[in-house]
Amino acid sequence: MRFSSFLLLSAFAISIAPAAQAQFSFFPYVGYDLGSDGGGDGPLLGLGVEVPVTPSLLPVAAKVRASAETTFISEDNFSVVRFNGDAIVRLAAPTLPVSPYAKAGVIVERITNSNPDPSVSNTEIGAGLGAGVILGKLFAEGTLGLGDVSDFRFAVGFRF
In a domain, residue 7? The reply is no
pLDDT at residue 9 greater than cutoff 60: no
In a domain, residue 9? The reply is no
Provide the domain count of the chain. 1
Compute the half-sphere exposure of residue 4: CA atoms within 13 Å on the CB side of its CA. 1
Asked if 159 and 134 touch (Cβ cutoff 8 Å), the reply is yes
Residue 136 is part of a domain; what is its CATH number?
A: 2.40.160.20
3-class state of residue 20 by DSSP: helix
In a domain, residue 97? The reply is yes
Summarize pLDDT for 31-60 with one digit per residue, the tens. Answer: 998 875 544 688 889 999 999 888 766 678
In a domain, residue 125? The reply is yes
Q: What is the mean pLDDT of residues 73-100?
A: 84
Give kind and range of the element (H or E) at residue 44: strand 40-52
In a domain, residue 79? The reply is yes
Nearest one of 53, 61, 54, 52 to 24, comparing CA atoms: 52
In a domain, residue 121? The reply is yes
In a domain, residue 85? The reply is yes
Domain that includes residue 28, residue range:
24-159
How far is C-alpha 137 from the chain's CA centre? 14
Whole-model pTM? Answer: 0.76
In a domain, residue 73? The reply is yes
